[in-house]
Amino acid sequence: MKWVRLAGWVFGFLFFSISATQDIGAQDNRITLGITTKTGSTGLPFVIAEEKGFFKSEGLNAISVVMQNQVVVNGVVARQVDYGGTFSNFVGAALSGLPVRIVMAVMDGSDHYLVTSPNIKRVEDLKGKKFGISSFGGTPHSEAIMILRKYGMNPEKDVTFLQIGGSSTRYAALDSGSIDAAMLVPPFNKLAAKRGFNEILSFNEIMSIPLGGLAVHTQRMKEKPDEIVKMIKAMLKGVDYIRNHRSEILSLMAGKWGIKEADVREGIYRDIVGIYTRTGVASDTTMKNVIQLVRETRKSKEELGLSDVVDWSFAKKAQAELKIR
């Protein structure tokens, strides 16, 4: 099975990644959280939870490690990564019968925008062009397929998908001319627009789906349920911090994201603050949307229920402990 064959490679990759950033000697209590980027709106809640000490306040020694999207999933499946911070790939893994579940949603909607080269003004103009994605089966790939189909195009024939990596890498590839289009998250969509690229549409105009979150191995759900609740509490604290510390987040955008224009920072903040979760639980409607999205992308015929993909019991317990209503 492909997932099993990858396990050995994943372990070696992850061991290198973690040991390169942290002393490997005292990892007994260390929690590894795999994410695809620390820059931009998707990675911001993870960064805030770590840098503002919300993981530590819950008694957790958690570190975020940037990895390729599929490596995050493979790492959780192989139990070499404790938590995954991506979404659609874990939906696909669960639909394939792998022992993983999503336990928290970070965003109630997508913050992905279709951005194209200056000469591409419409979705239909993408015919014969190169489309950069994070990984096959990942959220940007699924979203791109849905957009192309909605505009009467054949994703398998009309464009060439190139597996590029996270949003920052896709932005760089678009800027260099290596690709013609990509789904980008803030701030990269705004940076691209400033450089003359076209922001064609928001995926929220196509479909409402949750984005980002926490996913775990089902065995960890049995072994460490209290830890999972604490992880979700730390993430909810991070999201609340973003919502209530506007000036600090705007300063972070200027310093760490390199967004010098005040109006651009304000626009990004307005766009993202409203779609961050308050509860960590996605609605059944949006979950069914993302399951449909993943099934269509992967041409999957599995007929599984929501309980085969998500388990919100931990997030609901975290809500109760934080007195969120």
Domains, the chain, ranges and CATH?
Answer: 2-109+210-322 (3.40.190.10), 113-205 (3.40.190.10)
Nearest to 3 by CA among 74, 81, 64: 74
* Tens of each residue's pLDDT in the chain, 325 residues: 444 334 444 444 444 444 444 443 345 589 999 998 888 888 899 999 999 999 999 999 999 999 988 899 999 999 999 999 988 889 989 998 999 999 999 998 888 999 999 999 999 999 999 999 988 878 889 899 999 999 999 999 999 999 988 888 999 999 999 999 999 988 899 889 989 999 999 998 998 888 889 999 999 999 999 999 999 999 999 999 999 999 999 999 999 988 888 988 998 899 889 899 999 999 999 999 888 888 877 766 667 789 999 999 999 999 999 987 6
The edge-to-edge listing of strands for the beta sheet with 83-84 is 61-66, 30-35, 83-84, 211-217, 100-107
Confidence (pTM): 0.80
